[in-house]
Amino acid sequence: MQSLIDIRRALHKIPELGFQEFKTQAFILDYLTKLPQDYLEIATWRTGVVVRIVGTNPTKTIGWRTDIDGLPVTEETGVAYASQHAGHMHACGHDCHMTTALGLVTAFVKNRPVQNVVVYFQPAEEGPGGAEPMFNWLKEERLDLLCDEIYALHIAPEYPVGTVATRPGLLFANTSELFIDLKGIGGHAAYPHLTRDMTVATANLILQLQTIVSRNVDPMNSVVITVGKMTAGTVQNVIAENARLEGTIRTLNAESMQAVKSRIEAICAGIEVAFECEVSIDYGSLYHEVNNHEACANRLLAFAKQYDGATDFLCPAAMTGEDFGYFLKEIPGAMFWSGANCQYGLHQSKMNPDESLLSFNTDFVEAFIRSL
């Protein structure tokens, strides 16, 4: 069989966006069908894959989830196995996550676990969100592939390889995409009084959005509103008729998310009046917070403490978004950060994890699941 490094590099070459992971799915299925099939069941859902390994004496089913999609990032690592898909990259480490999952299946097929194990290769984590619809499919059509408890990891470039960092309770925040479109009246730059300038309206809107955190949110309650992209106009001497903002909202609870959205809507209504324009809001994908179950997170930390080569770390909560939270709404489990030892962070074009994490993660997770 392929080595873990070979698997990771092959997957790294073919990053695909959410629900477009056709080559990725084909790679996973090709790998899995070459394994012994006696105690293996393979199912597909859209561009995802689910694998069930029958245990030797099961009393429960343990789930392991990996994400499989890439990001719309142009790679700048300079490695020989760089992305072959222009403008797409595994800049969030999902190639490493998939490699660990395939390594787990291989290990469990060769040496069956006591418990049943189900591995979920979930599409569209980066957007538009695959966890919730995948879980709904499991509940409605494939109850036999559901599990009793579930775990997952996410690489953390800032930590050394061997770090297992997690916490009971909130690990990652609620997140919502934010898209705001403004429509006014365009025209010649020399006759601004005959137009409704959406560049000016949008500039004012951005400034007002930033007051939500500073003036409408309890200072003891963390909220982030980030506008990452603004587009307006077509050329320097034409006043912009249209403008668009793209951003994200992060909160520590669902109530704060709703309060922030209500305030955004009120501000946008004010912009409509002040600048005589039309404003529309689309919240895109919403991700539920990752809330680790206390017993499961503590079990992970305790196991890491005694595992040779691991460093357990009780980490703080982060404003990171992760749709694994939809699994944890329904099933006890936990997610942890796994050290990747890289100077570049997640979603950066030069992010290239230390590949020694592949064998560590696979061995650690295999041993942990066998201990349950």
Contact 100, 119 (CB under 8 A): no
The token pair that represents 159 in the structure block: 């930590």
Active-site residue flag, 366: no
Residue at token pair 């930033």: 210
Pairing relationship of beta strands 48-53 and 40-45 according to DSSP bridges: antiparallel
**Phi, psi for residue 104 in degrees, rounded to 5:** -65, -50
User: Which of 16, 69, 126, 312 is the catalytic position?
Assistant: 126
Measured CA distances, 319 to 154, 253, 336, 341 (Å): 14, 11, 14, 21
How would you class 299 by CB atoms within 10 Å of its CB: exposed for 0-12, middle for 13-18, buried for 19 or more?
Answer: middle
For residue 67, indicate whether it is catalytic: yes
Closest C-alpha to 90, from 157, 135, 158: 157
Among 16, 21, 67, 241, the one annotated catalytic: 67
Give whole-number Cα distances, 93 to 8, 61, 100, 304, 342, in Å.
10, 26, 11, 21, 11
**Closest listed residue to residue 226, CA positions, set 243, 204, 210:** 210
- Enumerate the active-site residues: 67, 126
